[in-house]
Amino acid sequence: MVKYTVLGHGRCRPSGLSNMKIFYKISAILLVAFLFPLLLLGMTGYLSVREIGDRTTETTTEVLLRTERMHLQKRASAEALELDNLCSSFENGVKHLRSHYQVLHRHRERYDVDKLPRAYTGVDTAGLAGFGYVHPVYGAYADFDGKIPGAPWVPRPVVRKLRHDPALRTSIEASLESVMLFDMHLQLAIELQEISADLAWIVLTNGVTNVRPEYDYNRIIAKNPSILDLDESTEDYVRLVDAEHNPERKLLWIEPYFDQFKNTWMTSCVAPLYDGDRFLGSVGMDVLLSVIANQFIAGQEADGYAFLVSKAGKVLAISKDGIEDIAWDSAHRKALMQTFLNGRELPWTEEMVESYGSTTLDKSPEHDLREIVGAMKNGQTDIRNIRLSGQQKLIAFAPVRATGWSLAIVVPEQAVASRANEVQTAFSQGIQTTVVRYSMTSLVVLFVSIAVGLILHYYAVRPLNQLSRRVEAVRWDNLRLSKDPKPRDDEIGHLYAKFHEMLDVLRSARNETVGKAEEIQRINAKLEIANQDLARELDERVLVEQSLSREKELLAVTLRSIGDGVITADRLGRVVLMNRQAEQLTGWTQAEAEGLALDEVFVVRDENDQPCNVLARTLRTDEQEIGSFEVFLQARDGSKRLISDSGAPIRDRDGVEVGVVIVFRDVSVRKRLEEEMIRSQKLESVKLLAAGIAHDFNNLLTAILGNISLSKRDPALSDRTRERLQDAEKASDRARGLTQQLLTFSSGGAPIRGPVDMARLVEESAAFALRGSNVALETSFAPDLQPVFADRGQIAQVIQNLVINAYQAMPTGGTVRITVDNTIVKPEDALPLQPGAYVRVSVKDDGIGISPENLRGVFEPFFSTKSYGNGLGLAVCFSILKRHGGHIVIDSELGVGTECRFYVPVATEALKPKQGETATPPRGTGRILVMDDEPMIRQLAENMLTSLGYEVETACDGIDALQKIEQLAAKGKPFDAVVLDLTVQGGVGGQEIISKLSERYPTLPAIVSSGYSNDPVMADFASYGFRGAIPKPYNLRAMAETLAMVLSANDDKVS
């Protein structure tokens, strides 16, 4: 029953004590204080012991497994090493056999062959030695009756051949004598390995064989007559060590094979025999697989087994348990049982031979076994878990280094785990004993707690209950306590006294609290009004801060989106703000530059490299005078760039200057484009001037060269006069070369291109340019160098100009190195070329080099750093290569040298054979019309053609030429060919009349001639209707050959 006490104004609440008796509370406390810790301790101990047992069992299992794995791995490695030592002894024996036989073969003259036993003298031996004979029935050559040492053998097919081949008979006889001399070495080798080795043998490529121990040929042949035709020189133990299969002449272990003589499987250690580079055959020793099985697989532990695999994954040795694990079909199981358990007791079927011979463990249906066999074939050392025959097992394997084999030991994992189970059982029993003991202790503690609770109830709980009932009678309006009927001197009596004192204090506090409560209500009313005012101020401040935040964000976005650099600084010149573009141009970030001096972050200099005070200049600027300045900005990393900057002061709302803002942009690219445009315009003007000069000069040279060639034909000339004419002709040729350079440099025409052999052109042009100089020439050409599609004369001019520049850069001598190779230009290459195949030519010297400031102007016309020359060399090279679709690059360093590399597209046509010149210009007949606006060229052409046997008419322009062609055609005297000047100053040239001429007189061949030798019409005359072209200046031979070619082609076309 719950009791309530009325407090204050009639409100009720539960009394301080609940309906639960204090006796029960104390009893519960005792139980909790004693029994619960004991139970907790017991449970904790039980769980701890249980956990320790589980962990100990787990750890023990892991340690046992790890120990067994290490033990297995060491066993596998030890047994593999033991097998390795055995195989190494076989290899040493085979090496000794090879060494002895090769010495015997090379020095056979040292041995007395006549002392060999000849037990069959007089018997039909087919002309062979008498230490064996040809059996009259079997037809093979061998020691059938066992009368001599060893077992020499020649198969029946070889014996049949040597009866009709004296050379083969001589070879066989010499080989038989050699193998019989070698017999003692075979015997010694087999005696040293009598425990393990089955045979020591030698097989030569001509079929001669000898073995130890001896064969009983009669028994073997009676059992298997097909042996008579077995030529062992074709078997794997000979074929696989010949020069084709074993060029390193290494000693090899042959994969297991079935021996028809022994009716069993074996393997062989084989070494090749050589006489110099001639392969003689092989020598080796055989080991039965059953021997390997007996020696290395027997004696394994009862709960495991071992097996051995070859490099190809074939089983070389295994026990019965292992056969049950790894064999996956009946044929494979029978073959393994027959090989390793039954020996040679039972006959082999073809199915069994095929199953063992073609089956390797890496074909097993068990994926885990295939992986392990793969690791064994790779020569790995490891231990792994595998499931075989429904059991989880451990398999450890290690390589046999000498042979490439691998040995494995298999143990069931359960055999190891059973030891851990015993430990786990012992720990479980200990845990149960501990639980019983803790339970008994808990019962004792429970009874003790109940007895203590009863004693406390009598001496403490009852008095406290009485006090509790008196306290329940106390109310807020009656703070008085009735007197104890039986005063006590103990702690409970003292509690009564103190409770009376407490009630007195409560009465005083009650009266004081009522007065202060009224005062607090008045203060709370005032605080409520103040809080309302403060809330209004906070709302207004939040609105202001939000507005400032939006404005700041808008300013930041605006500055980031501006493409120019922006820097603001205060009046003292300290950086306040930078946008992203300013960070990129100066190399300073906003965080790094903030607070630094403006002239430390924004470092600018004028064109005289003098520093500029941007802050002072900006503060002096009026708003109406804001302008831009081009200065050089030095970034943080030291790099410089040209910029355009402008600045303005920042003023507050009162007009007071509080800082500056600087706006600037990078104008380096724009400046370079302006300079390039000026340079291009200058170059075009010079090209136009050069083309006009070259045309007029070519006309003059035509008259000079033509008259010289005519004068040289005069037989009355003296030798001295002829020499002077030749000198004049050479000088004219050089002048023609200069005009050719001017024309190439100008934009007046395209090169006359065709397939060109670059190797020959480079050799000729470079040698000609260096003739008589003190500079050596080194050339290097790619072996598969492709021809280029180019104008031979123009590319030769490029090479000569570059070589001349190279040797002029080495006045004291040196070496010019020219490298020519093929290259593929890709889109990612930094070259202004179309992607494709090019020929790259590099001309390198060891001269004085070119300074960086001069290197920028080397391709400009008339630019030269030398006191001689015309300054057109590299400009001409640049122009030629550009017209060819190529490019030129120059790298140079002062004091080190210069390298020029140029690229020319490869040709799609094959090179044409070069035709030689005739001794004299070809003559001809016919009527020829020559049209040219220069009277001296008309006269020259008339004299040339007349001297060649032609009838000549001349015309001054195209209109005059058409009229004369029509007049003579009307008279029945048509022209056989016309030579037309391409352009006529102030008149009609050949290009304007060729269409009319072709339309009216389609069979009349026209030849175009011009001083603009690089004009597109000259480069592709056929597309414009002309049959030939002769560039000015020309001589008598050029005119004669061109005219003869055109007339001959026209005759063929007409006929």
- According to DSSP, the residues that pair with 259 across neighbouring strands are 264
Q: Cα–Cα distance between 807 and 773 in angstroms, integer? A: 8
Q: Across all residues in the chain, what is the average pLDDT?
A: 79
- DSSP class of 1004: S
The three-state secondary structure class of 806 is: helix
Q: Which of 136, 115, 114, 113 is nearest to 126 (CA)?
A: 136
Q: Which amino acid is at 548?
A: L
Contact status, residue 73 vs residue 397, Cβ threshold 8 Å: no
CA atoms lying within 13 Å on the CB side of residue 1033:
29
Q: Left if phi > 0, otherwise alpha if psi is -120 to 50, otherwise beta: which for 329?
A: beta
Quickly tell me which residue has 């055609």 as its tokens.
969
Q: State the pLDDT confidence band at 819, using cuts at 50, 70 and 90.
A: very high
What is the pLDDT, as a whole number, of residue 288? 82
Q: Cα–Cα distance between 38 and 446 in angstroms, integer? A: 10
The three-state secondary structure class of 782 is: coil
What is the full DSSP assignment across 308-347?
EE-TTS-EEEE-HHHHHHH--SHHHHHHHHIIIIITTSSP
Q: Which two tokens stand for residue 432?
A: 């149960």
Q: Are strands 1006-1010 and 977-981 parallel, antiparallel or unpaired?
A: parallel
Please state the rounded mean pLDDT for residues 368-390. Answer: 83
- According to DSSP, the residues that pair with 893 across neighbouring strands are 897
Predicted model pTM: 0.40
Q: How many CB atoms lie within 10 A of CB 228?
A: 19
What is the pLDDT, as a whole number, of residue 982? 87
Cβ burial of 412 (10 Å; 0-12, 13-18, 19+) is: middle
- DSSP class of 500: H
Contact status, residue 271 vs residue 241, Cβ threshold 8 Å: yes
Q: Cα–Cα distance between 371 and 392 in angstroms, integer? A: 16
What is the pLDDT, as a whole number, of residue 283? 95
Q: Which of 941, 924, 918, 927 is nearest to 1036 (CA)?
A: 941
> Looking at the predicted structure, is the pLDDT value of residue 796 above 70?
yes
Contact status, residue 1026 vs residue 1017, Cβ threshold 8 Å: yes
Please state the rounded mean pLDDT for residues 503-531. Answer: 77
Encode pLDDT of 306-354 as tens digits: 888 888 888 878 877 777 777 777 777 777 777 776 655 566 666 666 6
Q: Cα–Cα distance between 144 and 152 in angstroms, integer? A: 10
Contact status, residue 861 vs residue 871, Cβ threshold 8 Å: yes
Which H or E run includes 202? strand 199-204
Encode pLDDT of 108-156 as tens digits: 888 877 777 777 777 777 778 777 888 878 888 888 887 887 788 899 8
The three-state secondary structure class of 11 is: strand
Q: Can you give the length of the chain in residues? A: 1055
What is the full DSSP assignment across 577-612?
EE-HHHHHHHS--HHHHTTSBHHHHSEEE-TTS-B-
What is the pLDDT, as a whole number, of residue 314? 82
- Calculate helix-pair angle for 413-456, 22-30, nearest 10 degrees: 150
Could you tell me which residue, 436 or 580, shows the higher pLDDT?
Answer: 580
Of the listed ranges 67-71, 293-297, 727-731, the one predicted with least confidence:
293-297
What is the CA 333 to chain-centroid distance, rounded?
49
What is the pLDDT, as a whole number, of residue 10? 39
What is the pLDDT, as a whole number, of residue 295? 67
Could you tell me which residue, 64 or 245, shows the higher pLDDT?
Answer: 245
Q: What is the greatest pairwise CA distance in the chain?
A: 180
Q: State the pLDDT confidence band at 762, using cuts at 50, 70 and 90.
A: very high
Please state the rounded mean pLDDT for residues 51-72. Answer: 73
Q: Left if phi > 0, otherwise alpha if psi is -120 to 50, otherwise beta: which for 921?
A: beta
> Looking at the predicted structure, is the pLDDT value of residue 765 above 90?
no
Q: State the pLDDT confidence band at 16, using cuts at 50, 70 and 90.
A: very low
Q: Cα–Cα distance between 218 and 94 in angstroms, integer? A: 28
Q: Cα–Cα distance between 189 and 287 in angstroms, integer? A: 13
Could you tell me which residue, 899 or 860, shows the higher pLDDT?
Answer: 899
Could you tell me which residue, 705 or 154, shows the higher pLDDT?
Answer: 154
> Looking at the predicted structure, is the pLDDT value of residue 899 above 90?
yes
- According to DSSP, the residues that pair with 1009 across neighbouring strands are 981, 1030
- In degrees rounded to 5, what are phi and psi of residue 344? -100, 20
> Looking at the predicted structure, is the pLDDT value of residue 625 above 50?
yes
What is the pLDDT, as a whole number, of residue 1? 37
Domains of the chain: residue spans and CATH: 117-288 (3.30.450.20), 322-417 (3.30.450), 562-666 (3.30.450.20), 758-905 (3.30.565.10), 927-1054 (3.40.50.2300)
Q: Cα–Cα distance between 905 and 833 in angstroms, integer? A: 10
